[in-house]
Amino acid sequence: MKLSLLSFSILLGACQSTNNEINIAPEPEVQIPTTVTTWTLEDKARLCSARALEQRKASKTEGNEGSPATLPIVTVNPQYPIDAIRNQVEAKVYLSFDIDKQGKPSDVQVYELEMTHPQTMEASEQLSAFEQDFKAASNRAMSKWAYKPMMKNGEPQIDKCRQVTLTFAIHGSF
């Protein structure tokens, strides 16, 4: 019994720390970003292109029954804005959109618009009006388009981040 008490007290003595300080590593300093990133439609279009490419690559390996490059089954040409024709303004409208499960374009957004004119256009109000006319005509046309929905395991899927360019040309040069 004396031997076991002695071994217990030695064991207790070995477990006690002579140093009462507790060393705690300092917490890392938190860095708060000082800049705010603003995403433009052009940035969204680039991101969409990358995501769409990934989605199409994945669809080839995941048994997608539809074509990885979904083609429209119904297209409607946009109506050329009358004032733009009168002023011989041509345009290319770059659109980004999703295709819903019913095959309809959704979340249609213009991410770039190029305009040309035989003369120098200086009036910014007039340019802005032409821009709005081309955007509106493009959105009206896209609302009438239809696609065969992308299929996965027999179920229609949302096809994200599609892009199309609509060209408004009077002389066929644009």
Q: Is residue 34 part of a domain?
A: no
Q: Is residue 13 part of a domain?
A: no
Tokens 């290319």 found at: 92
Q: Is residue 27 part of a domain?
A: no
Identify the domain containing residue 154 by its residue range.
Answer: 40-168
Q: Is residue 1 part of a domain?
A: no
pLDDT value at 91 more than 60: yes
pTM (2 d.p.): 0.62
pLDDT value at 7 more than 90: no
Q: Is residue 26 part of a domain?
A: no
Q: Is residue 20 part of a domain?
A: no
Whole-angstrom CA distances from 2 to 6, 62, 125 are 6, 74, 103
- Residue with more model confidence, 17 or 148: 148
Q: Is residue 30 part of a domain?
A: no
CATH label of the domain that carries residue 118: 3.30.2420.10
pLDDT tens sequence across 65-89 = 444 557 899 999 999 999 999 989 9
Whole-angstrom CA distances from 40 to 22, 86, 109 are 51, 32, 11
Count of domains observed in the chain? 1
Q: Is residue 173 part of a domain?
A: no
